Amino acid sequence: MNTLCPPAKASLKVILLILLIISGCAVVPITDRKQMTLVSDQQMIAMGLTAYNDFISRSIISDDRTNTLLVEKVGRDIVRAVEVYCTEHNISDRISGFDWEFSLVEDKTANAFCLPGGKVVIYTGLLKYTKDGNGLAVVIGHEIAHLIAKHGNERMSQQLLKQFGGLALSLAISKKPQETQNLFNIVYELGSTLGVILPYSRLHELEADKLGLIFMSLAGYDPNASFAFWQRMSETHGSSIPVFLSTHPADSKRMMAIRKAMPEILRYRYLRR
C-alpha cells in the first residue's frame, strides 16, 4: 500500500488549503476587492439566528414606541434601497433567505449591530448620537453595508484559519460548534460577554461607509448627515468610549474619504424619485 511521507502530506495539506481559499473567494461591491469567504451563507445565517435569539432573550426590548417605530421605518427604507441596489448589480443572492428584523433594546451602551439573516439591533444609548431619522440611516446603512460586503464572513474566515488551520470547514463548525459560535459572536461585536471585541479594519470601515451612504442616499435620506453623526461620536468626553466608536473609529482620514466619495453618493439620492 502506498503511503505519503510526512513532507508529502504537509504539501498536500497546503495545496488543499490553497484550493479551499481560492474556492471561497468573493468580491466586495463598489471596490471589486477580492476577499476570502470560507463559510457558506447558510451557515452564517444559522449562526446569526442563534446569536440573535440568545441576545434578545437576555435583553429588554424598548417600550419607547416613537423611537421603535422610527428604527423600524428607517430600517425598512434602507432595506428597500438595498434590494434595489442588489437587483441592479446582480448580487441579490447576498440577501437570499433574509428575514429582516429591527429591534430597539434598552441599553445605555452606544452600540448597534447587524447579523447575517437581516437581524438589526439598535441600543437606546446610541439615540443621543443619531438624533433623528438621518442619523439612524447612517448607522443602519453602515451596519447593513458590512453585511452586504460580507465583512463578517471575511473576518470569520480569517479567524477560523488562524485558530483551526486546515480544519476550518471540515471540523470547526461541525465538531467545535460552541467555539465556532463564540468566534462568530466576537466577529459580530457580541464578544463583550467573552471579554473580547474585534474591531473592523480601516479598509472594511471605508467600504461600509461608502456602500452604507449609497444605501442611505438611495432610500431618500441625506448622506451629509454622516458628518454631524461622526462628529458627535468623536466629541465624546470622559474615560468611557462608546462601543460603537471603539469598533468603528472616526478620524480625519475617514472624513476625508467620505467627502471625496460624496459626489458619487449623492447621485443616488434622487435616483428613485
Residue 13 lies in a domain: no
Q: Is the residue at 8 inside a domain?
A: no
Tens digits of residue pLDDT in 7-27: 444 443 443 344 344 445 678
Classify residue 78: in a domain, yes or no: yes
Residue 60 falls inside a structural domain: yes
User: Of the residues 72, 88, 143, 205, which is catalytic?
Assistant: 143
Question: 11 lies in a domain?
Answer: no
Cell of 54: 440568545
- Ordered alpha helix ranges (H), the chain: 6-23, 41-57, 65-88, 127-130, 133-148, 151-164, 173-175, 177-187, 202-218, 225-234, 243-247, 252-266
Mean pLDDT of 242-270: 85
Q: Could you tell me which residues come within 8 angstroms of residue 144 by beta carbon, excluding any fewer than 6 positions away?
A: 78, 79, 82, 114, 120, 212, 215
What three-state secondary structure class fits 206? helix
List the one residue out of 148, 150, 108 whose CA is nearest residue 128: 108
Q: Is residue 22 in a domain?
A: no
pLDDT above 90 covers a percentage of the chain that reads 52
Question: Taking each helix axis from N to C terminus, what angle separates 225-234 and 252-266, rounded to the nearest 10 degrees?
Answer: 160
Q: What does the alpha-carbon distance between residue 255 and residue 209 come to, in Å, rounded to a whole number?
A: 10
**Residue 123 backbone class (left: φ over 0; alpha: ψ -120 to 50; beta: rest):** beta
* pTM score: 0.82
- Domain encompassing residue 133: 36-266
Residue 138 in domain: yes
Looking at residue 5, what is its pLDDT?
Answer: 46
- For residues 139-147, give the mean pLDDT: 97
| pLDDT value for 172 | 63
Residue 171, pLDDT score: 60
- 106 as an active site residue: the answer is no
Domain for residue 221, yes or no? yes
The count of domains in the chain is 1
pLDDT of 195 strictly over 50: no
- Over residues 155-183, the pLDDT tens digits come to 888 877 777 665 555 566 666 677 777 77
